[in-house]
């Protein structure tokens, strides 16, 4: 993959959010890979997960040791083949990775929004993305694909912009966030709230509520794993550097969660984390519809769904409930439950288990679109 650059576009027109609040201006950070064909029929939108960003593939410089978060999937000859497709990934609103969020300056005050930033829902993220797609001169996307929160975005695209989407591929998603997932996010929130440095969101960027935020990330990270993956990677091994009867001695799984949490503090903003967690908690495909059936009736394009056997955050049964409604409505839907021991992170850890289905599906969509 050649070197890539993150670009930014700002829309001055107000964006009306589901809450009724108006947000303006709205900046989106985005990256593109490959080339848009002459009739703009080969565009695929990649939607990122909770704490992801627009840097889905490629490297910023030859010195970069690591590519984008889905670098194995995007590029010449890869699953999202940039010799055939024009791939777009944008950072969602509410984030801290270049798009408008709680760390952005409020034009009315000249200071960061912090907790004055409005609550955003996944549907709001998609409406902002729709402006980006217009800006890029694309009338209809060949497909929208994403995992976790990205799967929610893909589904919202299919329901709310049916004329703009040729197909959707939701991976490890859900039709509505479960009470258990909300409860885990509630624990993460309390970890941040209880850190005295949080100061009700008014912390200094150079002095974030690091301890509480690291703990919040650890809570979330546990939900991305599975019992099987933790057993395989860590088992009951005790840290070699600690004494077994040292009161503060740690198992390897403890040390891993501590490291993961502390490193996360250095690359993400606590308020943005809280806003995106709220968007996840509020997600319900039936929002402002009388039922999930009514919402899904609007989905007319083919959809390819994946769940993972060991995912206990968004369980396979949750995906299957949505697929069952679509099948009952005689919608063009395909579903695969992939056997994997890596929990919710399976879509990132073992993509080879589901990508052959994606390649065949996109081949068919491209053939029908003539690209």
Predicted confidence (pLDDT) per residue in 123-152, tens digit: 999 999 999 999 999 999 999 999 999 999
What is the arithmetic mean of pLDDT over 58-80? 94
pLDDT of residue 243: 75
Percent of the chain with pLDDT over 90: 94
Residues 107 and 202 in one domain: no
Residues 158 and 196 in one domain: no
Catalytic residue, from 99, 124, 344, 346: name it: 344
* Same domain, yes or no: 21 and 84: yes
Domain assignment present for 97: yes
Active site residue 95: no
Residue 2 lies in a domain: no
**Total number of domains constituting the chain:** 2
Shared domain for 23 and 147, answered yes or no, is yes
Q: What tokens were used for 287? A: 């929002």
Same domain, 94 and 123: yes
**What is the structure's pLDDT at 242?**
80
Spatial CA neighbour of 11 closest among 178, 169, 133: 133
95, 99, 104, 148: the catalytic one is 148
C-alpha distances in Å from residue 40, one per residue of 37, 59, 80, 144, 162: 5, 25, 16, 15, 17
CA 167, CA 321: separation in Å to the nearest integer?
A: 19
134 and 95 in a single domain? The answer is yes
Mean pLDDT of all residues belonging to the chain: 96
CATH assignment of the domain containing 216: 1.10.1740.110
- The whole-number pLDDT of residue 371 equals 86
The answer to whether 360 is a known ligand-binding residue is no
- 350 with 308, same domain: the answer is yes
User: Which of 255, 278, 301 corresponds to the end of one domain?
Assistant: 278
**At 330, is the pLDDT very low, low, confident or very high (cuts 50, 70, 90)?**
very high
> Is residue 1 in some structural domain?
no
Q: Which of 211, 311, 341, 346 is catalytic?
A: 311
Backbone angles phi, psi at 163, to 5 degrees: -80, -10
| Within a domain: 357 | yes
pTM of the model as a whole: 0.96
pLDDT tens figures, 148-202: 999 999 999 999 999 999 999 999 999 999 999 999 999 999 999 999 999 999 9
User: Within a 13 Å sphere around the CA of 17, how many CA atoms are in the beta-carbon half?
Assistant: 17
Q: Same domain for 40 and 170?
A: yes
* Confidence band for 102, pLDDT divided at 50, 70 and 90: very high
Long-range contacts, 69-73 (Cβ 8 Å, 24+): 69/348, 70/46, 70/348, 71/1, 72/351, 73/351, 73/355
232, 258, 278 — which closes off a domain? 278
What is the distance between the alpha carbons of residues 130 and 139, in angstroms, rounded to a whole number? 10
Whether residue 246 is found in the same domain as residue 150: no
Structural domain of 193: 181-278
Helix (H, G, I), strand (E, B) or coil at 274: helix
344 is catalytic: yes
The answer to whether the CB of 344 falls within 8 A of the CB of 314 is: yes
**Residue 266 and residue 117 share a domain:** no
Q: What is the CATH number of the domain that holds 328?
A: 3.40.50.1820
148 catalytic per annotation: yes
DSSP letters of 188-255?
HHHHHHTSTTTGGGT-BTTB--HHHHHHHHHHHHHHHS-HHHHHHHTTTPBPTTS-TT-TT--BHHHH
Dihedral angle sign, alpha carbons of residues 223, 147, 264, 109: negative
pLDDT at 328 over 70: yes
341 is known to lie in a ligand binding site: no
Provide the pLDDT confidence category of residue 1 given band limits of 50, 70 and 90.
low
For residues 164 and 209, membership in a common domain is answered with: no
pLDDT at 3: 87
Domain end among 256, 278, 300: 278
């Amino acid at each position: 993959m050649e070197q890539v650059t993150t670009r930014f576009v700002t829309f001055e027109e107000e964006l009306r959010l589901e809450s009724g609040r108006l947000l303006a201006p709205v900046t989106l950070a985005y990256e593109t890979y490959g080339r848009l064909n002459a009739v703009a029929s080969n565009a695929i939108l990649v939607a990122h997960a909770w704490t992801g960003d627009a840097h889905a593939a490629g490297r910023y410089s030859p010195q970069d040791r690591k590519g984008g978060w889905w670098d194995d999937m995007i590029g010449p000859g890869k699953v999202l083949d940039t010799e055939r497709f024009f791939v777009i990934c944008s950072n969602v609103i509410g984030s801290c990775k270049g798009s408008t969020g709680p760390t952005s300056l409020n034009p009315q005050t000249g200071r960061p929004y912090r907790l004055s930033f409005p609550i955003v829902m996944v549907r709001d993220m998609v409406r902002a993305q729709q402006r980006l797609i217009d800006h890029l001169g694309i009338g209809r996307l060949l497909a929208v694909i994403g995992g976790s929160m990205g799967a929610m975005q893909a589904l919202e695209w299919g329901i709310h912009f049916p004329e703009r989407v040729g197909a959707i591929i939701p991976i490890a998603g859900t039709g509505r966030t479960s009470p258990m997932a909300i409860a885990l996010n509630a624990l993460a929130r309390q970890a941040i709230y209880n850190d005295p440095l949080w100061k009700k969101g008014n912390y200094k960027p150079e002095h974030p509520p690091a301890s509480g935020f690291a703990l919040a990330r650890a809570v979330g990270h546990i939900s991305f794993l599975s019992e099987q993956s933790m057993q395989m990677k860590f088992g009951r091994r005790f840290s070699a550097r600690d004494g077994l009867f040292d009161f503060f001695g740690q198992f390897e799984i403890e040390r891993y969660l501590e490291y993961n949490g502390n490193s996360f503090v250095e690359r993400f903003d606590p308020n943005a984390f809280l806003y995106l967690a709220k968007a996840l908690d509020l997600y319900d495909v039936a929002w402002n519809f009388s039922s999930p059936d009514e919402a899904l009736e609007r989905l007319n394009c083919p959809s390819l769904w994946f769940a993972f056997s060991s995912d206990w955050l968004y369980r396979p049964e949750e995906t299957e409930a949505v697929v069952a409604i679509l099948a009952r409505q005689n919608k063009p839907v395909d579903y695969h439950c992939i056997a994997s021991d890596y929990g919710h992170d399976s879509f990132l850890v073992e993509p080879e288990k589901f990508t052959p289905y994606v390649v065949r599906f996109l081949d068919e969509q491209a053939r029908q679109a003539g690209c």
